[in-house]
Chains A and B, each alone.
Chain A
Amino acid sequence: MSVQVKFFASMRDIMGDDREIDSETLARQSIKTINDVWDSCANGKERPSNVLVAINMDYVDAQTIVKDGDEVAFFPPVTGG
């Protein structure tokens, strides 16, 4: 089991390709919340204040707990229509 991490639009330009955090890394880095997922992927990059986050395709905030098997997505404000 693991956590899939996706980046869209300008967040992909900043963060690079989608990635997977395996269960060993989740445990070793004590990854519990969205904030922890960001820190694990970011190599010290600060999270933009306007970034939106989803777990399993529902909007959540940065304090939300992640679980093994979750799909986490980071993306900028949406601009459709």
Chain B
Amino acid sequence: MMVIISSEAFEPWTVLDEYQQNMTQLQGQYGATAVFVGTMRDFNEGEDVTEMFLEHYPGMTEKHLENICDQAKGEYQLLETLVVHRVGMIKPNDPIVLVAVWAEHRKQAFEACREIMEDLKSKAPFWKKEQLDDGQDRWVDKNTKGY
């Protein structure tokens, strides 16, 4: 299990590939990998967004992400989990979050990936401040209904 809070831009597919390459002890055991990548949009709530600041609570964020992954690992018999989340200034099209899980079967993998992502959005202390096209900025005060 790994949780990474990154103040640097990351390329999710490279991170994923490298992580899986290093899972040598699990080769042959997993039959399903589910991956979610969240990317910054250039609009929100009807406004053009030019950049965004992602704040977190150092220590608490990692603690809760680890708890979320631990819980999912137990509930869905996951073999491995990886969560990477950006903080700091980001631009549209930058990856924000990567969630990947490895399990024996697809049902466990799909459901666990979804649950980790939903728990992250409701429990992990991150906050977004958007810079708008008109020069104003604003804190995002709630998650958009994404599904």
Q: Which residues of A contact B (CB under 8 A)?
A: 6, 8-10, 13, 54, 57, 59, 73, 75-81
Contact = CB atoms under 8 A, between A and B. Distances in A.
**Secondary structure of the B contact surface, majority rule:** mixed
Contact of B123 (A13, A75, A76, A78): A78
Interface centre among A8, A13, A77, A80, by most chain B C-beta atoms within 10 angstroms, is: A80
Interface stretch (B10-18, B20-28, B57-65, B71-79): B57-65
Given A8-B55, A57-B57, A57-B59, A80 B139 contact: no
B126 A81 contact: yes
B127 A76 contact: yes
A62 to B, nearest CB: 17
A59 B60 CA distance: 10
A78 B56 CA distance: 9
Interface of B: 38, 54-57, 59-60, 63-64, 85, 96-97, 117, 120-129, 139-143
Contacts of A75: 57, 125, 127
Contacts, number: 70
Contacts of B123: 59, 78
Contact of A9 (B117, B121, B122, B139): B139
A79 B59 contact: no
A81 B60 contact: no
Contacts of B143: 77, 79, 81
Nearest to A12: B55
A79 B96 contact: no
A78 B126 contact: yes
A49 B85 CA distance: 28
A54 B58 CA distance: 13
Contact of B127 (A9, A57, A59): A9
Nearest to B62: A57
A73 to B, nearest CB: 6
A31 B113 CA distance: 42
A9 B55 contact: yes
24 contacts: A8-B55, A9-B127, A9-B129, A10-B127, A10-B141, A13-B139, A57-B57, A57-B59, A75-B57, A75-B125, A75-B127, A76-B127, A77-B141, A77-B142, A77-B143, A78-B122, A78-B125, A79-B121, A79-B128, A80-B85, A81-B38, A81-B97, A81-B117, A81-B124
